[in-house]
Amino acid sequence: MKSKYKKIIALVLIVLMSVSIVLFWDEIKQLETYGYFGIFIISILGSATIVIPAPTILATFVGGGIFNPFLVGIVSALGATIGELTGYIAGSSGRSIINKEEKLVKVEGWMKKYGLWTIFVLAVIPNPLFDLAGMVSGAGKIPVWKFMLVTLLGKTIKFLVIAFIGASSVSILGSFVN
């Protein structure tokens, strides 16, 4: 019985954190003024929301144009990977509570068929399904270190590309202004 209450409390805390992040997003965005650390925190918070999009990609894009794009991509990937633990924890805590909606069943099917490759591909491609992959990974008892490693690899590719596109866009726009 105690374990069931802990799982429910964990789910409630994750939902409250997601709602808080959305409600206070303007204040959170001011973290960008803190450079790499701000981008890292934005990436954690943006990825910690469950199924609610947050502008982590925008922060990485803009950061890539302002700071070293390689470092921005790495910092964003590290932060996003840490933030994705909320989906994993929600899945492992709420295995019996999670609704089997169509998208979740689809991601679950991919996970059964392709395993960790599903996590990798969903981490590389900007899409709203990654939270579901995290939940399925947690519910499916994929070891957290495997989930984190594959997520980090995929997110590193994604955020490096986004940061370098941001850096290129700034130089292209700069040539029009000058």
Please give the pLDDT value at position 81.
96
Give residue 29's pLDDT band: very low, low, confident or very high (50, 70, 90): low
Q: What is the mean pLDDT of residues 135-164?
A: 92
Residue 98 has pLDDT above 60, yes or no: no
Determine the Cα–Cα distance for residues 122 and 146; give it in Å rounded to an integer. Answer: 15
User: What's the total number of domains in the chain?
Assistant: 1
> Higher model confidence: residue 40 or residue 106?
40
DSSP 8-state symbol, 34: G
The CA angle 101-106-107, to the nearest 5 degrees, is 100
Q: Tokens at residue 39, please? A: 């981008």
Average predicted confidence (pLDDT) for the chain: 80
> Higher model confidence: residue 81 or residue 114?
81
Predicted structure pTM score: 0.75
Please give the pLDDT value at position 164.
95
Which residues are within 8 A (CB) of 52 and not within 5 positions of it... i.e. 6 or more apart?
Answer: 18, 21, 22
The domain in which residue 44 lies consists of: 2-177
Q: What is the mean pLDDT of residues 111-126?
A: 87
> Higher model confidence: residue 25 or residue 9?
9
Cα atoms in the 13 Å half-sphere on the side-chain side of 83: 30
Checking phi first, is residue 115 left (phi over 0); if not, alpha (psi -120 to 50) or beta?
A: left
> Higher model confidence: residue 26 or residue 82?
82
Which residues are within 8 A (CB) of 54 and not within 5 positions of it... i.e. 6 or more apart?
Answer: 21, 22, 25, 45, 46, 47
Please give the pLDDT value at position 17.
55
Under 8 Å between Cβ of 123 and 87 = no
Please give the pLDDT value at position 58.
82
